[in-house]
């Protein structure tokens, strides 16, 4: 616990200005408590909400420390956490949210300190949720976290906690960013992120180093897709000396079952909107597990290439 303190509290809290402290607070990620699953959050059945400044639909939260934090932190550090919590915006009633305020690298990964906030009228116990770190609005790390140790979060309070994101949770190695935030992935989402990339050994042998590099960047940067759908994205294209057009595409399966297409109509167009190549492909060997991503190469022979001299710096893939 408290791995973030060396950096966050490296300077005596009373020597830090209010403006310096406020800069630590990051963007809030919130979810309606009623949308959370029982496996994610437990909400106590009966409890009276605090009767103070929380009339109406906006909730002003108060600091709630875990007993261990109360024992370990001195008065100055508790003051700093109380000040930071007080600077958080009021919440709409009925939400559970997370707001990051410290992110510190260490030999095992990133230690992120955050406030878990409860604007419901009941005590909330967060159990198992998915959290992500975004750097400049791009996903950097994702993982499922068991938060049973955080304890009960009373109604209308914010509880600070720290979480280690190990290196295996990273989606890439780019640490260059100007801002960051914690995102909570929970509830009955209408979208899914096919997070596991499958790469068949035979397919890997056929891919160039450039294709592998583009695939790695693409697979972990694409946005979520609607649940129960499959999305196909082109990520590289080229022409051989013999006149073949070779397109690399990524299948992302957001369904709850394996995706097994028999045939697909594939069309490649250039930046001018002209058709470069098209045809019906035998895709019976494609197997994409539920929640997985898988690349595939499509080869158009010279006799079906309609525009051999097409400029493919910009191109459009259509699959149906």
Q: How far apart are CA 222 and CA 224, in angstroms?
A: 7
pLDDT over 70, % of the chain:
85
Report the side by side order of strands in the sheet with 128-135.
138-146, 128-135, 180-185
Domains, the chain, with CATH or none: 5-188 (no CATH), 196-319 (2.60.40)
314 Cβ contact partners less than 8 Å away, ≥ 6 residues apart: 270, 271
Give the single-character DSSP code of 313: T
Give 196-249 pLDDT, tens digit per residue. 778 777 777 877 777 777 777 777 667 778 888 999 999 889 999 899 999 999
Give the model's pLDDT for residue 18.
Answer: 62
Give 137-195 pLDDT, tens digit per residue. 788 888 889 999 999 999 999 999 999 999 888 887 777 788 889 988 766 555 566 66
Give 52-94 pLDDT, tens digit per residue. 545 567 899 999 999 999 998 989 889 999 999 999 999 988 8
Q: How far apart are CA 191 and CA 172, in angstroms?
A: 22
Mapped to the 3 state alphabet, what secondary structure does 2-45 carry?
A: CCCHHHHCCCCHHHCCHHHHHCCCCEEEEEEHHHCCCCCEEECC
């Amino acid at each position: 616990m408290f791995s973030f303190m060396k950096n966050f509290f490296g300077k005596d809290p009373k020597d830090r200005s209010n403006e310096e402290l406020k800069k630590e607070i990051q963007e809030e990620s919130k979810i309606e408590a009623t949308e959370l699953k029982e496996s994610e959050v437990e909400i106590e059945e009966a409890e009276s909400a605090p009767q103070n400044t929380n009339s109406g639909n906006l909730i002003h939260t108060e600091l709630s420390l875990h007993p261990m934090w109360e024992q370990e932190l001195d008065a100055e550090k508790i003051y700093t956490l109380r000040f930071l919590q007080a600077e958080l915006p009021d919440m709409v009633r009925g939400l559970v949210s997370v707001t990051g305020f410290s992110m510190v690298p260490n030999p095992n990964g990133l230690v992120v300190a955050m406030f878990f906030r409860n604007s419901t009228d009941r005590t909330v116990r967060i159990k198992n949720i998915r959290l992500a770190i975004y750097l400049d609005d791009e996903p950097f790390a994702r993982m499922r976290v068991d938060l049973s140790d955080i304890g009960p979060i009373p109604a209308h309070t914010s509880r600070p906690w720290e979480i280690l994101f190990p290196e295996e949770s990273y989606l890439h190695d780019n640490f260059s960013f100007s801002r960051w935030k914690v995102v909570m992935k929970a509830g009955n989402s209408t979208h899914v992120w096919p997070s596991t990339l499958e790469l068949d050994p035979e397919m890997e042998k056929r891919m160039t180093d450039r294709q592998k590099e583009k695939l790695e960047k693409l697979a972990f940067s694409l946005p979520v897709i609607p649940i129960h759908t499959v999305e196909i994205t082109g990520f590289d294209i080229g022409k051989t000396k013999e006149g073949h057009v070779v397109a690399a595409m990524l299948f992302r399966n957001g369904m709850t079952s394996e995706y097994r297409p028999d045939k697909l109509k594939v069309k490649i167009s250039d930046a001018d909107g002209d058709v470069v190549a098209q045809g019906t492909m035998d895709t019976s060997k494609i197997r994409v597990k539920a929640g997985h991503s898988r690349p595939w190469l499509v080869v158009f022979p010279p006799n079906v290439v309609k525009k051999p001299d097409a400029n493919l710096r910009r191109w459009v893939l259509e699959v149906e």
